[in-house]
Structure 1
């Protein structure tokens, strides 16, 4: 499994990304995160992956090739668990969340890909 995690900071707030990740994993509230339009994000993912089978409300699998993923949300974060998913498909997921101004945090590295880390 490969995890992709997304959240958005409130204006003027920038926290330790790994601590934010750990708190989100432990379901500890994190001050300074913006509420996300979770339903819109899920609809957009469903639209982009319309040729994948929708297994349930939060899971998709590719019947034409490798990969499956599960989208777990809170009001402040989106975690996508990828199972054998190709990098190109993961890039599409990153692009969808980027549309909602939610940069990727990759806990495997750990690295957050946002405008502050690019400076």
Structure 2
């Protein structure tokens, strides 16, 4: 996932370390990863960039959990 993340955000965001990226124009994000969790904290990012995280999670079978609505959005279940 981290290698794919590098590909997705190599266009204008600076990688400060393995899990922290930022740009003066596009905001910043920090990744938290465990064997059971992939969490992204975004700061001042636009929707298109944030959707890249949803796509990344889908590629690896990690459905989105939206804490604002307290709902897990399982893409496979939503398509049926």
TM-score (norm 2): 0.86
**How many matched pairs?**
77
Partner of 1:56: 17
Alignment of 1:45-84 (within 5 A): 45-51=5-11, 52-63=13-24, 65-84=25-44
State the shift of 1:48 in Å. Answer: 0.7
SS at match of 1:73: strand
Query: CA separation in 2, counterparts of 1:83 and 1:76?
Result: 23
SS at match of 2:62: coil
> Is the radius of gyration larger for structure 1 or structure 2?
1
Partner of 1:111: 71
Backbone CA RMSD of aligned residues: 1.3
TM-score (norm 1): 0.60
| Structure number having the greater strand percentage | 2
Misfit runs of 4+, over 2 Å:
none
Structure ranking higher on relative contact order (CA contacts 8 Å, 6+ apart): 1
Gapped regions of structure 1 (runs ≥ 5): 1-40
Residue 94 of structure 1: which of 50, 54, 78 is its match?
Answer: 54
